[in-house]
Amino acid sequence: MKLTQMWLHQLEMPLVAPFTTSFGTSQTKHTYVVELRAETSAGPVTGWGECVAMEAPLYSAEYLHGAAEVTRRWIAPALFDQPHLSAESVAHHLDHLIGHPMAKAAVEMAVLDAQLRAAQTSFADYLGVTASTVPSGVSVGIHDDVPSLLRAVGGYVEAGYARIKLKIKPGADTEPVAAVRAEFGDELPFQVDANAAYTLVDANHLQRLDEHNLLLIEQPLGEDDLRQHAELASLMRTPMCLDESIHSVKAAADAIALRAASVVNIKPGRVGGYLQARAIHDVCRAHGLAVWCGGMLETGIGRAANAALAGLPGFTLTGDISGADRFYAEDIVTEPMRMHDGVVDVPTGPGFGVEVDRDLLARFTTDVLTLTPEHT
């Protein structure tokens, strides 16, 4: 295909409830979605992607406006220059740009969506996914008190979610975990996520989580602390899961070699796109590590793509692929994803299988950056 135009739609989408992690509280999702137009052998086609970078560089070094600027100044011009662009070649054409995986992933996602739409192929078929549904887990933020946490978890359990993940941080960890386990019993599939809030000095304290039969503890230590994670893993019975540390196939291979984790959370935006995510899945599966698909409060575009990715056979643990209504009263796609009976459906339509509702897109849009070959 040949790219002819690109738009970055800056959005502000209110959350149905505040979402608190170890690095802060969000009440509004700030993001941008990539719309691109391309000429293909099948005619002109439009593709959509989205950037999962946060407004501030708290989860990773990237931040939203920086990702948009990198796209405007370097990513878009590099791809506009290509006469025969494909999703599989995007990473190669951007390899000279150091870092910025979330910015790169957003554009690769839109190219992939356009490519698949031109071929009238679904993302699931492209991946070779045969599952029609995938189990749906939910991520629960840090609450101000235990009673409100138990009410929130109870609502998700009653709704039928297949797994609960609880965010933790120092001072909000052992007490809420113990309360959830006591309230809902050992049968509840239950895990925790620290978002790198601890250090190895906290090992004795974190060992207290072993009492609660957790599926895993996710990223307790810093992003660069592979050796320390390996040491902590040797001290705990709870399986160690890495998130922020796994930003590439190489990082996954290093973690495996160091025995730093037995589980990996794959977030496509964090690792540079869905094709890189599939490669990490393949490496982990070959070495016997379980993987699951994490979430970044995606709109319906990313939510649909994540559901298809989670249908690959190595995704043996329930991912953070909740229904859209977990976070948004209104999504930007015409048919928002719904959780039913503990699962979500894998989309089967061309591309990522969802259509953007332009009226809702316009309602949440605060700015649009238009990029063309002549103006980048």
Q: What is the pLDDT of residues 265-313, one digit of tens each?
A: 999 999 999 999 999 999 999 999 999 999 999 999 999 999 999 999 9
89 lies in the same domain as 229: no
Whether residues 367 and 321 fall in one domain: no
pTM: 0.96
Band (376; pLDDT cuts 50, 70, 90): low
Clarify whether residues 115 and 130 are in a common domain. no
Are 26 and 148 within one domain?
A: no
Please indicate, yes or no, whether residues 336 and 360 belong to a single structural domain of this protein: no
Instruction: Say which CATH number the domain at 283 has.
Output: 3.20.20.120
pLDDT > 70 in the chain, percent = 99
For residue 192, being part of any structural domain is answered with: yes
In a domain, 78, yes or no: yes
The reply to whether 86 and 220 lie within a common domain is: no
Residue type at 248 in one-letter notation: S
The proportion of the chain whose per-residue pLDDT surpasses 90, expressed as a percent, equals 97
Q: Are residues 140 and 213 in the same domain?
A: yes
Same domain, 151 and 16: no
State whether 312 and 164 are in the same domain.
yes
Enzyme catalytic residues = 167, 267
Residues 181 and 326 in one domain: yes
- Does 157 reside within a domain? yes
Q: Total structural domains in the chain?
A: 2
Instruction: Residue 188: give the domain boundaries.
Output: 124-345
112 pLDDT higher than 90: yes
Q: What is the dihedral of CA 225, 228, 230, 234, to 10 degrees?
A: -150
The count of other CB atoms within 10 Å of the CB of residue 36 is 26
Task: Kindly report, residue by residue over 315-342, the tens digit of the pLDDT.
Answer: 999 999 999 999 999 999 999 999 999 9
CATH number of domain containing 69 = 3.30.390.10
Q: Express each pLDDT in 358-372 by its tens digit.
A: 999 999 999 999 999
- 138 lies in the same domain as 105: no
In a domain, 350, yes or no: no
